[in-house]
Amino acid sequence: MLRHSVLWIMRDPLSPAARLVMLQRLSYLVTEPPSVSSGDYGADLFGGSEVLHRVRPSQRRPTWRRSADGPAHNFDMALHLDFADWDAFQAYGDDPTHTEASDANERDNWDELTARCDWYYDGDAPPTHAGRVKHVAMFVWAEDASEAAKAAALEAVEGLAETEEAAAVLTGQNVGKATTAYDWIVDIDAADRDAASRLVAGEAYAQAMATVAAATRFEWTARMSHVMHRP
């Protein structure tokens, strides 16, 4: 199956009304376009980009100076859509529901910062379990990263499956053609919010991200955790 994963940073993450409208729009994209086989969506559980509004713009450390420190905050919203094949995905791209939602998303989010990854997973069962928590992170390979360093990064995140907090771990390479797409993704299931919180705060996750940082433009990492909404 092909999964289309998108993460957004909202222009107004502090507005409950804006968040509700965004969630409603994402849920409609899961259920309305006929070429979508299944899907999932959600808002970040740990504050998303709200942290930016606690610091004056002039005092924020710019993304391009963060390097191995990684992102200063999570993204706000996530959408994951599953398709039987590439043709079904292309049909979704032409669907008027997608077109209208995409235009609205551009208005409500910092579109130039939106993270996308189109990737395949094995089998027909989508990696979505309603009520559990999804932690997802997307990465861009460093231009000088060796194949050995890339393999080590993938092995490091896949090793998180051995932790108590991770119920399942998937990785995928981007197969899409969008110039804004990230190179690869890690998709982790956790039992609940507490498990997800322990995972990302734990030593195993920190060690995995250190290995990933050595092979990626880590300052551009896109990540967030959300409750899964669809079975």
Tell me the C-alpha distance between 90 and 5, whole Å.
15
Span 75-84, pLDDT tens digits: 999 999 999 9
pLDDT at 52: 73
The token pair at 77 is: 């919203």
Pick the CATH number of 2-227 from 3.90.870.30, 3.40.50.720, 2.40.70.10, 3.30.70.100: 3.30.70.100
Phi/psi region, residue 154 (left: phi>0; alpha: psi -120 to 50; beta: rest), is alpha
- Asked if residue 231 has pLDDT above 60, the reply is no
Span 30-63, pLDDT tens digits: 999 999 999 999 999 999 998 776 666 666 666 6
Paired strand residues for 2:
83, 120
Percentage above 70 pLDDT, the chain: 91
Strand stretches in the chain, DSSP E:
2-8, 38-43, 77-83, 115-120, 133-139, 166-173, 184-190, 222-227
**DSSP symbol at 2:** E
- Asked if residue 140 has pLDDT above 90, the reply is yes
Tell me the C-alpha distance between 98 and 4, whole Å.
13
SS3 labels along 47-111: CHHHHHHHCCHHHCCCHHHCHHHCCCCCCCEEEEEEECCHHHHHHHHHCHHHHHHHHHHHHHECH
CA distances to 23, 59, 66, 120 from 11, in Å: 14, 19, 21, 30
Span 167-199, pLDDT tens digits: 999 999 999 888 889 999 999 999 999 999 999
Span 79-132, pLDDT tens digits: 999 999 999 999 999 999 999 999 999 999 999 999 999 999 998 889 999 999
Query: How many helices (H) does the chain have, and how many strands (E)?
Result: 6, 8
Tell me the C-alpha distance between 105 and 206, whole Å.
32
Residue ranges covered by each domain of the chain: 2-227
